Structure 1
Amino acid sequence: MPRLTRNIATLSGLFIATIQALPAQAYELEIHGSNTVGATLAPMLVTGYLKERSEGRVSAKGTGQENEQILSTRLNNRPMEVLVAAHGSSTGFKALAAGQADIWASSRPVKPSEAEQFRTRADLTALESEHVIAIDGLAVLVHPSNPVSQMSIDTLGRIFSGQIRNWSELGGPDLPIHLYARDDRSGTWDTFKSLVLGKTYTLDGEARRYESNDQLSDDVSRDPSGIGFSGLASVHNSKLLAISEGNAPALRPNQLTVASEDYPLSRRLFMYTAGSEIPSLAAGLIEFALGQDGQALVAESGFISQNPIAVRPEFDDSTPDSFRRLTGNYQRLTVNFRFSEGRTKLDNKARRDLQRVQQYLARNDRSSGDLLLIGFADTQSHELRAQMISELRALSVRKALQEADVPDVAYTGYGQYMPVGGSGSPRNGRVEVWIKSRQP
């Protein structure tokens, strides 16, 4: 891909922008977009990838502009530099569309309008363009001294719209509530706006806005009246709240609840490319990020790796005895299989997770006979319909695993019971993966 300057005329809704081709620093790879991805995770992935390819060390320096880094090394006895510019998810799409970025880092999925603008070059919703590099939980933060420990999504929306203005209304101290929010260019803001505010609430004008997750979290941790939201990797010294949706139990973001996307404010972190016809350096970085070593760096960065692990969930009083008996000799893998809109085929992440399950079995000397798939459905008009849908979902995953050389996996359906979201939430329609506990 030819290198263009970083002076780009304003995009005015048209796909083709006017680009000033002035002499400027050329980079072998440019990643533009999300601050959530670009602040720490993307530089760590670039560094890990370059260390595999180069003989020397990888150094980092700023560009003189906030939230930008240059990663430098020598490859084939030549200097090489990679730019990571983390100014918000929307800026990354504009850079990719303008031909400036090789990779668009985003903390939200591509919008339909963006995919349509880009369609003449590539389908950004296709497997070869859309790469889920990590799972994040949108962390709701308060000061460590705040006695409030959980709240519903609706309560959160009322707080950030200014309808609830004092912590005493929530069982906390008699203090005015101070709001901390990400800025309008942020994918974190887009996620919060979509999942919390929706069409019901509008952000209160008194909210303080931030480009940086880290700075927002640090300021909340120093303000006994504060509440804010950030990526999971930026919790730092703030207190983390458990969040509930509808009648489902409140969940704190942790390895299982976020990796499985059961946590109501879980989200996927993406890298988008212009299809598969991209520079080899960009293609190699994507492959590294999605692989075992790259996902280990994801975990090290504070986000949630997609490498499956087996854990024993903590059941609460709402867990039916029948489900306790069903899973009594099993642990749960930190992966759920979910379906694309229309619920007929597995989404892009699920298609890659098929390989991850196969690799997990091989690494841990386990067989397909150790697995159990449990399907779930959202609330239906009739219990038998929900049972049928949940079983068909599990059967669909079983067939997909068979094609990935994981044959004859046991499966069952659990109907519309044990929802993880409110009625109608797509998160309720899922297939969990359980594995037999090793005998001592």
Structure 2
Amino acid sequence: MNFRNFFALMLLLTLAVSTTFAATFAKITLSDGSELEGEILGLDKGIYTIRQANGRERSLRESDVVKIEIQKDLSGTEAPPASGLRFAGSNTVGEKLLPELAAAFVERRGARRAEWEPGMKENERRLVVGDPAGKRVPTAIAIAAHGSSTAFVALKDGSADVGMASRRIKDDEITSLAGLGAMKHSRSEHVIALDGLAIIVHPDNRVPALTVEQIARIFSCAITDWSAVGGKPGPINLYARDQKSGTFDTFKSLVLDSNKTILCLEANRFESSTELSDAVAGDPNGIGFIGLPYVLKARALAIKECDLSYKPTAFEIRSEEYPLFRRLYLYTPEQPKSPFVGEFVDFALSPSGYGVVDKVGFVNLDVKQDVSQSQFLRTPAAVLSAQNLQALQQFVQMTRYATRLSVTFRFEPGEADLDTLAVRDLDRLVSYLKSDEARGRELVLLGFADSVGDYRQNRDLSQQRADTVANELRSRGASVAVVVGLGEEAPVACNETDPGRTRNRRVEVWLK
């Protein structure tokens, strides 16, 4: 018996009496003559568990295994020669964004070829990758898109390396995943894009704006005539995306579910966003919802909220002030088993990843200027809601001749701690300040709070929040000229709702 076969025999004997061992990549020969390669995860009650190169796990009877040839000991830090990356969760993320990111990721890393294959179930697929010599590329990327809640189940049972979600992780899910680390920490929670919806009508429709509640009532057939919302009398014709689309999933979450309604059965359903938009543009009584890139020949309505009006622009969504937006997340263990996890997240949050986000139709996280100067339209509303004349004067003075940036720092509820998007925005902003657009201009930070509690305490909290951002930026080498807390002045949303209060707890960034 040569040394290699002797070592394999020793491994078999070891596995037979233990259920856990150092990770080992091996070629396994079965009694029927077939062979497979994979990582041996364990042996329990005569059953081997093998993780194959495509990321799927397979069970083998011990009696069916004829030979095990050790390819590599994986107990060190080096990636296995054949390894996969597995994603599970949100349909919105997994339908198009994640596949496009995956394809761009492996191409960027030098893969010779990559082909998509259908998975075992609906809404599952796998990117099989050709790996050139010397390149660190996953041999397969598997995606199972069955809803955000499945992300956290898959992370817990180990069937996914990365969870995809179109909502933030819930408290009970955090508790369930305590063994993977702090899931609301920036090491585990990664906002990769923002999603926004446009409400579209015929170009000649004279209704300028609707509230989210009015939109919900229209699409549930509680409002059926345009005259009820200030339009020309006539029946309202509804146009909606199909049940399986991520666009409908977003609309359902942000409009229907939040108002405890369901879509009217009379709505015309479309699988194509372009066809839906064209149908609305050709119907004087039509109304529909669509992703931002598909407004086309139709007209997008503004969304009204507490004397404020927001248009569905990339800037308003990136600043998270347009009401019909949501964050799209990836969730990872603090110490992922696959080395590709961190590398993929870094790619998704890089300029190359931003390009993919734009291509798919979501809003990327790059820093942008308000070139339309739409922020100055807030001043009349700020005057009407002002509680302190001195604070209002400061707001007008600080923003006069200034340009607002899209990055807006937000905080955990009731705290001065930055949320995970804000933590990464610090580095994005520092990088932007070195660009030609920002060079030579002064940085102004304006802190705000919601209206819950004492006015003076809220102003102190807003100052504390602005100071927190300023200190973090200065620690990264940035120069900050002005840091002011304005309390609950100049709200960007209604303080009567939880989402509104969350949007009002912020630090705005201006260049002067």
Q: What's the TM-score once normalised by structure 2's chain length? A: 0.70
> Greater RCO between the two (CA within 8 Å, min separation 6)?
1
Give the structure 1 partner of residue 131 of structure 2: 75
Say if 2:116 and 2:128, in contact at 8 Å, map to a contact too: yes
Say if 2:168 and 2:329, in contact at 8 Å, map to a contact too: yes
What are the within-5 Å matches in structure 2 for residues 10-29 of structure 1?
Answer: 21=58, 28-29=84-85
Give the structure 2 partner of residue 339 of structure 1: 411
Give the structure 1 partner of residue 168 of structure 2: 109
The partner residue of 1:130 within 189, 192, 196 is 189
Letter in 2 for 1:222: A
What are the within-5 Å matches in structure 2 for residues 272-351 of structure 1?
Answer: 272-312=331-371, 313-314=373-374, 315-316=376-377, 318=380, 322=393, 323-351=395-423
Give the structure 2 partner of residue 429 of structure 1: 505
Structure-2 separation of matches of 1:191 and 1:357:
28
Q: Secondary structure at the match of 1:71?
A: strand
Say if 2:83 and 2:138, in contact at 8 Å, map to a contact too: no
Give the structure 2 partner of residue 262 of structure 1: 321
Q: Secondary structure at the match of 2:337?
A: coil
Alignment deviations for residues 272-329 of structure 1 (CA, whole Å, 9 cap, x no partner): 1223323112221111111232223323332222121223422226265944542233
Say if 1:180 and 1:229, in contact at 8 Å, map to a contact too: yes
Gaps spanning 5+ residues in structure 1: where? 5-18
Task: Indicate the RMSD between aligned Cα atoms, in angstroms.
Answer: 3.7
Distance 1:28 1:209, change over 3 A: farther
Say if 1:49 and 1:288, in contact at 8 Å, map to a contact too: yes
Percent same amino acid at aligned positions? 34
Give the structure 1 partner of residue 209 of structure 2: 150
Distance 1:98 1:179, change over 3 A: farther
Give the structure 2 partner of residue 397 of structure 1: 469
Give the structure 2 partner of residue 8 of structure 1: none
Say if 1:142 and 1:239, in contact at 8 Å, map to a contact too: yes
Give the structure 2 partner of residue 16 of structure 1: none
Letter in 1 for 2:447: G
Cα drift, residue 350 of structure 1 = 0.6
Distance 1:29 1:206, change over 3 A: same
Give the structure 2 partner of residue 376 of structure 1: 448
Greater strand percent: which structure? Answer: 2
Give the structure 2 partner of residue 38 of structure 1: 94
Letter in 1 for 2:98: A
The partner residue of 2:238 within 178, 190, 193 is 178
Give the structure 2 partner of residue 364 of structure 1: 436
Structure-1 separation of matches of 2:125 and 2:370:
37
Q: Secondary structure at the match of 2:333?
A: coil
Say if 2:119 and 2:126, in contact at 8 Å, map to a contact too: yes
Distance 1:229 1:207, change over 3 A: farther
Give the structure 2 partner of residue 242 of structure 1: 302
Q: Secondary structure at the match of 2:180?
A: coil
Gaps spanning 5+ residues in structure 2: where? 1-22, 24-37, 41-55, 61-81, 384-391
Q: Secondary structure at the match of 1:83?
A: strand
Structure-2 separation of matches of 1:387 and 1:343:
13
Say if 1:330 and 1:434, in contact at 8 Å, map to a contact too: yes
Structure-1 separation of matches of 2:180 and 2:459:
42
Say if 1:361 and 1:368, in contact at 8 Å, map to a contact too: no
- What is the total number of aligned residue pairs between the two structures? 416
Give the structure 2 partner of residue 10 of structure 1: none
Letter in 1 for 2:348: A
Say if 2:161 and 2:336, in contact at 8 Å, map to a contact too: no
Structure-1 separation of matches of 2:170 and 2:232:
38
2:106 is aligned with 1:50: yes
